[in-house]
Chain A
């Protein structure tokens, strides 16, 4: 079937066509649409299965990436294929199960899809998940376009089962969020294996873990060989060897014809349209090594280096392949890339940056506008409940000289921008509570943490338990909008009505749990409650409730 799919959707379609029984995730841009696609297509998927299998298929949002990962791992233990998807920083949260699951004997295929966000379109850093796959010693697949995203994830499930190892598939924003035509293949129905009957390979106590680690290191030689076989080499021009990783290939091909023309090729006719993807154009185009699998082998790189005058490494994220090629003793030919500065070290690849790195002149441009074009930063939706909650907090703090407002990750982080400028830190999921607590411990007055409901369930609860146990003075504002707003209003893991009971269960005193409605007309009253709790020496929690507008819109549509 021919479909138009984004990279995220292609991965999801591929996972369904690979016969998954479980999909688990926590929302995070640019990975969210993977789970959304699976959920949107689940009914049709399940309807196509034999009666007996239908009750055993799930696609679930989870509390966080770690819980999602562990569910997928359990599904694998039980014999089923499972996918777990997240954004790059989500893998930090799931790092414990990720690195350790590399040692167990994977049963049902387990694929972790991680969407990196170079340029930080919607993230707080631009870490490169290939490095983390390497750290865990697991194979990493990196598609170069939507079609490959579909095909590769299907292969990844098979590879995971054959090698009894989790496979990490890495996407980046421009692949995740770009749509192109994808040809799908015939689906494989779920065919769960029997449950694992090998506890020795799943119980990572030191004596057993040592054996498993040794085995994993041995398997790495095979991973390298397999990657080498998949990464394709075309020896052509001797002037330049291009090493293109993942999506980097698209930016190279965008400019290939012009490179050929600029380097004396009479070749416009063979190398036009950038269709060298399959089928070589011998002669004029640069020699090309395409990398879509890691850990990389070294033979093809040596062959390429022996054939050309210099190398250019094009990769999204860190100079990961480039560093491996350079080594300590240097490469036999000059290597250009992010470390040598031909391609910027920070930010995503662009067709322009790759063009310049290929030694081509920039396309001619019109002069920019003669007046200053101010940026237009994101803002709260008109009528967003967070705006009213933040205003109430600011009113409560008015006149205070010494306070600290720690924020967390969600739409409310926008209160860092004018006109509010209401918060002083935003680092990682759940950090607001831990940071406010730590500051309070060392003498900070009026330490306030601001967190959304979804982020609180994700990583806030354990920090709150620390505060309760140590009787830290802390005022916590939970902005409860019933949803994960910033990623497009996915359901939170627990309903609003359960929150006070949960807080009490964690040990917060009933008298210091307040439930307020966040509306402008209640601002003064809400501010008064916050002010009185700011004076309390102990843990207080103020829940400011009102639904996210996007969530209401979505609910109306459904």
Chain B
């Protein structure tokens, strides 16, 4: 079993911490992981890309080959489009937040961006920001997104839940609860 994830977002959205959550959960489930990301210049409001590969055997390339991603988890819809060539034609799913981050002058019409996602064979678009706000923690939008993709991942829900609890453990019970709710609300969006 090999499962390849591209996490795409904009600097400051917490895409790298989501990569850690999923990787930790995968390890709890006995899988091997390889995580790759580039730091430095790219953190300053620019596009941020993390690669996460899960497998039950040794993983080689640190990056996901084009055409081989099972999941593109996009924290922003334009960033989802950037990684379409990485999606696997037969299996690849895009799970994208709907809220754009318009920090560039040539950001396209949001409707045309979302329409492009809807043209894909398999996609989920979710109002991660709205759901996170409703859950009482606007900063948990990234965890809503994990919830929205949870049933696609080769990882038991319980492992994801405990990985989320652990990463927020230092921030106190209220933050843990808000993130649990964010995760669950994301999950139930797609009837799971």
- Which A residues form the contact surface with B (CB < 8 A)? 4, 29-30, 32-33, 121-122, 173-175, 177-181, 247, 250-251, 253-254, 273-275, 277, 350-352, 355, 362-382, 411, 414, 418, 486-488
Q: Which of B41, B57, B79 contacts A378 (CB 8 A)?
A: B41
Q: Which of B32, B39, B41 contacts A181 (CB 8 A)?
A: B32
B154 at the binding interface (Cβ < 8 Å): no
Query: SS class of chain A's interface: helix, strand, loop or mixed?
Result: loop
Q: Which residues of B contact A181 (CB under 8 A)?
A: 27, 32-33
Interface pair A351/B61, CB less than 8 Å apart: yes
- Which B residues form the contact surface with A (CB < 8 A)? 10-12, 23, 27, 32-47, 51, 57-68, 78-79, 81-82, 84-89, 92, 103-108, 112-113, 116, 119-121
Interface pair B10/A376, CB less than 8 Å apart: yes
Closest residue on chain B to residue A411 by CB atoms = B44
Q: Which of A121, A250, A367 contacts B40 (CB 8 A)?
A: A121
Q: How far is the CA of A488 from the CA of B16 in the complex (A)?
A: 15
Q: Which residues of A contact B121 (CB under 8 A)?
A: 366
Interface pair A369/B103, CB less than 8 Å apart: no
How far does the Cβ of B79 sit from chain A's closest Cβ, in whole Å? 8
Interface pair B58/A372, CB less than 8 Å apart: no
Contacts A179-B23, A371-B112, A379-B45 known; A366 to B92 CB distance under 8 Å? yes
Interface pair A251/B60, CB less than 8 Å apart: yes
| 13 A–B pairs (Cβ distance < 8 Å), ordered by A | A121-B38, A180-B34, A253-B60, A273-B58, A274-B57, A275-B58, A362-B66, A362-B67, A366-B84, A374-B78, A378-B11, A411-B44, A488-B39
Q: Which of B27, B57, B65, B119 contacts A275 (CB 8 A)?
A: B57
Q: Which residues of A contact B92 (CB under 8 A)?
A: 366
Closest residue on chain B to residue A252 by CB atoms = B60
17 extra interchain contacts, Cβ-Cβ under 8 A, other than A366-B120, A374-B104? A29-B40, A30-B39, A121-B40, A174-B62, A175-B62, A179-B33, A181-B33, A351-B64, A355-B65, A364-B67, A365-B67, A365-B86, A366-B87, A371-B112, A373-B82, A374-B106, A376-B47
How far does the Cβ of A369 sit from chain B's closest Cβ, in whole Å? 4
Closest residue on chain A to residue B38 by CB atoms = A121
How far does the Cβ of A255 sit from chain B's closest Cβ, in whole Å? 9
Interface pair A368/B41, CB less than 8 Å apart: no
Interface pair A365/B39, CB less than 8 Å apart: no
Interface pair B81/A377, CB less than 8 Å apart: no
Q: How far is the CA of A277 from the CA of B51 in the complex (A)?
A: 23
How far does the Cβ of B174 sit from chain A's closest Cβ, in whole Å? 18
Contacts A365-B89, A366-B89, A370-B119 known; A178 to B104 CB distance under 8 Å? no
How far does the Cβ of A347 sit from chain B's closest Cβ, in whole Å? 13
Q: How far is the CA of A181 from the CA of B35 in the complex (A)?
A: 10
Q: Which residues of B contact A371 (CB under 8 A)?
A: 81, 108, 112-113, 116
Q: Which of B38, B58, B79, B104 contacts A122 (CB 8 A)?
A: B38
Interface pair B63/A368, CB less than 8 Å apart: no
Closest residue on chain A to residue B90 by CB atoms = A364
Closest residue on chain A to residue B34 by CB atoms = A180
Interface pair A374/B34, CB less than 8 Å apart: no
Contacts A273-B57, A275-B58, A377-B46 known; A351 to B85 CB distance under 8 Å? no
Interface pair A250/B60, CB less than 8 Å apart: yes
Q: How far is the CA of A30 from the CA of B42 in the complex (A)?
A: 12
Q: How far is the CA of A32 from the CA of B65 in the complex (A)?
A: 27
How far does the Cβ of A312 sit from chain B's closest Cβ, in whole Å? 16
Q: How far is the CA of A404 from the CA of B119 in the complex (A)?
A: 50
How far does the Cβ of B28 sit from chain A's closest Cβ, in whole Å? 12
Q: How far is the CA of A62 from the CA of B160 in the complex (A)?
A: 41
How far does the Cβ of B72 sit from chain A's closest Cβ, in whole Å? 11
Q: Which residues of A contact B113 (CB under 8 A)?
A: 371
Interface pair B84/A369, CB less than 8 Å apart: yes
How far does the Cβ of B117 sit from chain A's closest Cβ, in whole Å? 9
Q: How far is the CA of A254 from the CA of B63 in the complex (A)?
A: 10
How far does the Cβ of B163 sit from chain A's closest Cβ, in whole Å? 12
How far does the Cβ of A325 sit from chain B's closest Cβ, in whole Å? 24
Contacts A4-B27, A179-B33, A366-B85 known; A352 to B65 CB distance under 8 Å? yes
Contacts A368-B85, A486-B40 known; A379 to B63 CB distance under 8 Å? no
How far does the Cβ of B61 sit from chain A's closest Cβ, in whole Å? 4
Q: Which residues of A contact B82 (CB under 8 A)?
A: 373
How far does the Cβ of B1 sit from chain A's closest Cβ, in whole Å? 10
Interface pair A178/B44, CB less than 8 Å apart: no
Closest residue on chain B to residue A355 by CB atoms = B65
How far does the Cβ of B50 sit from chain A's closest Cβ, in whole Å? 10
Q: How far is the CA of A380 from the CA of B84 in the complex (A)?
A: 28
Q: How far is the CA of A255 from the CA of B61 in the complex (A)?
A: 9
Interface pair A251/B61, CB less than 8 Å apart: yes
Contacts A4-B33, A378-B45 known; A30 to B81 CB distance under 8 Å? no
Interface pair A122/B60, CB less than 8 Å apart: no
Q: Which of B36, B42, B44, B106 contacts A381 (CB 8 A)?
A: B44
How far does the Cβ of A362 sit from chain B's closest Cβ, in whole Å? 7
Closest residue on chain B to residue A8 by CB atoms = B39
Q: Which of A247, A274, A378, A418 contacts B44 (CB 8 A)?
A: A378
Q: Which residues of A contact B120 (CB under 8 A)?
A: 366
Find the residue from B66, B89, B106 having the highest chain A CB count within 10 A: B66
Contacts A121-B42, A376-B47 known; A365 to B85 CB distance under 8 Å? yes
How far does the Cβ of B75 sit from chain A's closest Cβ, in whole Å? 12
Find the residue from B62, B67, B86 having the highest chain A CB count within 10 A: B62
Q: How far is the CA of A180 from the CA of B120 in the complex (A)?
A: 32
Closest residue on chain B to residue A348 by CB atoms = B63
How far does the Cβ of A460 sit from chain B's closest Cβ, in whole Å? 21
> Which 5 pairs from chain A and chain B are nearest by CB?
A122-B40, A363-B67, A29-B40, A378-B46, A178-B62
How far does the Cβ of A282 sit from chain B's closest Cβ, in whole Å? 20
Contacts A368-B84, A369-B116, A374-B107 known; A380 to B58 CB distance under 8 Å? no
Contacts A373-B82, A378-B41 known; A178 to B36 CB distance under 8 Å? yes
Q: Which of A174, A251, A253, A488 contacts B36 (CB 8 A)?
A: A174
Closest residue on chain A to residue B116 by CB atoms = A369
Q: Which residues of B contact A381 (CB under 8 A)?
A: 12, 44-45
Q: Which residues of B contact A32 (CB under 8 A)?
A: 39
Q: How far is the CA of A175 from the CA of B60 in the complex (A)?
A: 11
Q: How far is the CA of A362 from the CA of B85 in the complex (A)?
A: 12
Q: How far is the CA of A414 from the CA of B64 in the complex (A)?
A: 29
Interface pair A374/B108, CB less than 8 Å apart: yes
Q: Which residues of B contact A350 (CB under 8 A)?
A: 63, 65
